[in-house]
Structure 1
């Protein structure tokens, strides 16, 4: 079916108002401006909390949260994990539902697809749409569900960490609804998939096979590998340019290569063992989040009275391999490894800082990462956030998606990493910058790191969710 046509009988996306949404509305009423703020909640923070809650309420579809009402009308994998982390402060039940609705799209081989499509959204509202991925048909042998339709690739594994944080927000409610019992086996299967079928380099780390998988789509770190991919031309129409400034978005050449990688993977039935991947890299951020996820699975197992030693051991081994394979001591940053030729990618990006979230990093590595964070490559003069790419790099672009702009989810992860390693003063500075910039820009998707100008979509869900999380979470709260 052509991407611009809408299947009959499908209605445009409309928000629903189930009982859970009414509860959130009640919470908003309780945070009315005339209420006296608590001593630990300044008036401006109270306003920000209300604003963030309204964004999440407005982007709620009845079963999950869209990243943006305009640009991203479906459910995205790592977006929903970050959203659940913020939602736990409004409604634990709704945060659980966010994660479980995503898990409903899990494949039998364990993979958690990067998009779960809403059948009420017209196909032309987003590209690539379900008729492009053809998951229920092309992915049948790999275990794709008959419904819902999904994409065939993945995104960073933030989900186990999110599930553990949601549980901790209200353990009694979690136990009453059997939340951990339901999600633990599914999250374990997800990690098993990454650690077996995606160990494409034989080095024990998970590989990404498409630039959308590490979540940093057009990062300069992928340029060299993508140059080997012959772009598809003329067979698709980009819906993102209907809602986003072309100067902010990946180029048509980027999209042509993204499409070519998917059609090749799709033709092989989304089978990692049957596909000759033209793009395959070990990404440091992706694997760092897998490590934190393994530690979260160990905690879940322990809480349920089960043995979590397997996950603890895997986290320790993954940490060792992460340092051995991806750490560049000379540059003071982690780098992606291109599995086509075995070389480290010669680019500095925020992905190379995100392993700070791993608690078992050697102290000398932590020290070097914090020094790099505050050095000329990442210390932006116009905002306290962290640019997505090296400020001194020839390919730095302050506006174009992941080629320079500062994102709120990566700032949240760096802040958490700083706290993990006891750098509380630096974490506090970053926390304050994140909250301030989120409110000032109307919860923008990302910002120009040099000027602080909001870019991309506004009323963006993970920006609101993660600002809300930092406004509710004590800065000395343990991260383990």
Structure 2
């Protein structure tokens, strides 16, 4: 039986109620080895969801948080990739699409190293996992060392980062590339509208959208976009999930993904040191990636980072919250930090005026306050943003954002995402990473000192 932690205890009755509600969501969504994002819409294990979930679970049960990450990494491919979905064989095939019989990972991914005994998707999600593993370790270092948690995780995490910086260095500059809109996590972002125009959608009769059984069509991707998602996934599968440059109709370098890779490299350096490995490779890689991130994705004109379309070669002139998330990266040039803070407070994101930062430019033509990643505010990206603000000394702004997130989480029933103006619930409710990050904010461990030679955001 898992022993649930009872500390730290929130200081107010409202905080205690919120903590109990968040804990209830995670307990209800636990399947025995991992946590589903939600039982209806997302009935399997998702990659970056599990990383965020583990960060919150550590405040309830360190052992369960470890298990969350261990289960996910147990489905890792031998080429190093961590698949974005690990399928639960007990869930009916028609409960989610694309289902295991679409991905056919154990058969069509065999040459790329897919596990034979576990069905997964063939694409990936942002690399939050080393950061999560380090934070889980810090929650109870004695328990972590007793179980050899980091020693068992280190090799898998290192192989994951090697895959991202090796096979997925499609642009040749060192950054990792994403080859499907689902991979950067912000699936339906307007940033992908241009690159997706190159993709011929799959015929509607070739698949059935299970997501519409659980969500409002006005809040989900359009049928046209979904058909393109299916086409890209099917083409990748039919190529055996190979990553050779020039084979992808969609290939982008995303600033949020690469910022998370950098922060996780810093975390991996600390994990290496803790486990007796050499941290130098990870320290050097983090420093190199930071330089390349600024060189390739920084836009002085926009005052933020932009995505780069590797097929067309140009920066994508769309302003999503992904371009502000690099505030989590320690050691950015001061002029970059100042510009990011100005952009966050400006008309596009209105940080401090709206309850939570929107996922897309409020002034953009494609902005939609309700539709998936085209404007709504999400708890995971706002959690990252408040950590970045604290790292660069913006404690008041971070504190206001933290308070707004806690208020929105409770009022929305731990919604998947919310309207950025009203914080009204959107998507599904009782969403696991919303509950998990609520627990982390209540524990107030997301603070960070000013950046130094080691990443303050990891403290």
TM range (shorter): over 0.9
Q: Are the counterparts in 2 of residues 136 and 149 from structure 1 also a CA contact under 8 Å?
A: yes
In 1, Cα distance between equivalents of 2:408 and 2:148: 37
Report the equivalent of 2:451: none
Q: Are the counterparts in 1 of residues 80 and 159 from structure 2 also a CA contact under 8 Å?
A: yes
* Alpha carbons of structure 1 residues 476 and 449: separation in structure 2 relative to 1, 3 Å: closer
Pairing partner for 1:224 from 190, 194, 202: 194
Would you say 1:283 and 2:263 are equivalent positions? no
In 2, Cα distance between equivalents of 1:408 and 1:381: 16
Q: Any residues of structure 2 matched to 1:3-42 within 5 Å, and which?
A: 19-20=1-2, 23-24=3-4, 41-42=11-12
Q: Are the counterparts in 2 of residues 155 and 215 from structure 1 also a CA contact under 8 Å?
A: yes
In 2, Cα distance between equivalents of 1:268 and 1:374: 44
Report the equivalent of 1:468: 439
In 2, Cα distance between equivalents of 1:299 and 1:425: 29
Report the equivalent of 2:336: 365
Report the equivalent of 1:10: none
Unaligned regions of 5+ residues in structure 1, if any?
1-18, 32-36
In 2, Cα distance between equivalents of 1:360 and 1:173: 32
Cα deviation per residue 1:283-329 (whole Å; 9 max; x = unaligned)?
Answer: 00000000001000000111122210100000000000000000001
Unaligned regions of 5+ residues in structure 2, if any?
449-455
Q: Are the counterparts in 2 of residues 133 and 152 from structure 1 also a CA contact under 8 Å?
A: yes
TM-aligned CA deviation for residue 279 of structure 1: 0.1
* Alpha carbons of structure 1 residues 92 and 381: separation in structure 2 relative to 1, 3 Å: closer
In 2, Cα distance between equivalents of 1:451 and 1:439: 14
Would you say 1:405 and 2:376 are equivalent positions? yes
* Alpha carbons of structure 1 residues 383 and 439: separation in structure 2 relative to 1, 3 Å: farther
Pairing partner for 2:402 from 425, 428, 431: 431
Would you say 1:341 and 2:312 are equivalent positions? yes
SS in 1 for 2:111: helix
Would you say 1:53 and 2:12 are equivalent positions? no
TM-aligned CA deviation for residue 383 of structure 1: 3.9
* Alpha carbons of structure 1 residues 379 and 137: separation in structure 2 relative to 1, 3 Å: same
Report the equivalent of 1:375: 346
Would you say 1:307 and 2:298 are equivalent positions? no
In 1, Cα distance between equivalents of 2:132 and 2:267: 9
**Aligned residue pair count:** 450
Cα deviation per residue 1:96-149 (whole Å; 9 max; x = unaligned)?
Answer: 000000011100000000000000000000000000000000000000001210
TM-aligned CA deviation for residue 382 of structure 1: 7.5
Report the equivalent of 2:41: 71
TM-aligned CA deviation for residue 275 of structure 1: 6.9
In 2, Cα distance between equivalents of 1:313 and 1:423: 27
Would you say 1:479 and 2:457 are equivalent positions? yes
Q: Any residues of structure 2 matched to 1:27-176 within 5 Å, and which?
A: 41-176=11-146
Report the equivalent of 1:267: 238
In 1, Cα distance between equivalents of 2:331 and 2:313: 25
In 2, Cα distance between equivalents of 1:448 and 1:147: 41
SS in 2 for 1:247: helix
Would you say 1:457 and 2:435 are equivalent positions? no
Report the equivalent of 2:323: 352
Q: Are the counterparts in 1 of residues 62 and 136 from structure 2 also a CA contact under 8 Å?
A: yes
Q: Are the counterparts in 2 of residues 53 and 90 from structure 1 also a CA contact under 8 Å?
A: yes
Q: Are the counterparts in 2 of residues 408 and 463 from structure 1 also a CA contact under 8 Å?
A: yes
In 1, Cα distance between equivalents of 2:422 and 2:393: 30
Report the equivalent of 1:321: 292
SS in 2 for 1:479: helix
SS in 2 for 1:142: coil
Q: Are the counterparts in 1 of residues 415 and 427 from structure 2 also a CA contact under 8 Å?
A: yes
- Taking only aligned residues, the RMSD between alpha carbons, in angstroms, comes to 1.4
In 1, Cα distance between equivalents of 2:11 and 2:341: 29
Report the equivalent of 1:4: none
SS in 2 for 1:141: coil
TM-aligned CA deviation for residue 452 of structure 1: 1.6
TM-score (norm 2): 0.96
In 2, Cα distance between equivalents of 1:280 and 1:288: 17
In 1, Cα distance between equivalents of 2:426 and 2:403: 20
Pairing partner for 2:162 from 192, 202, 207: 192
Greater mean deviation of Cα atoms: 455-464 or 271-280: 271-280
* Alpha carbons of structure 1 residues 123 and 274: separation in structure 2 relative to 1, 3 Å: farther
Pairing partner for 1:391 from 348, 351, 362: 362
Cα deviation per residue 1:377-421 (whole Å; 9 max; x = unaligned)?
Answer: 001787421100000011100000000000000000001111111
TM-aligned CA deviation for residue 476 of structure 1: 4.2
* Alpha carbons of structure 1 residues 476 and 144: separation in structure 2 relative to 1, 3 Å: closer
Q: Are the counterparts in 2 of residues 382 and 451 from structure 1 also a CA contact under 8 Å?
A: no
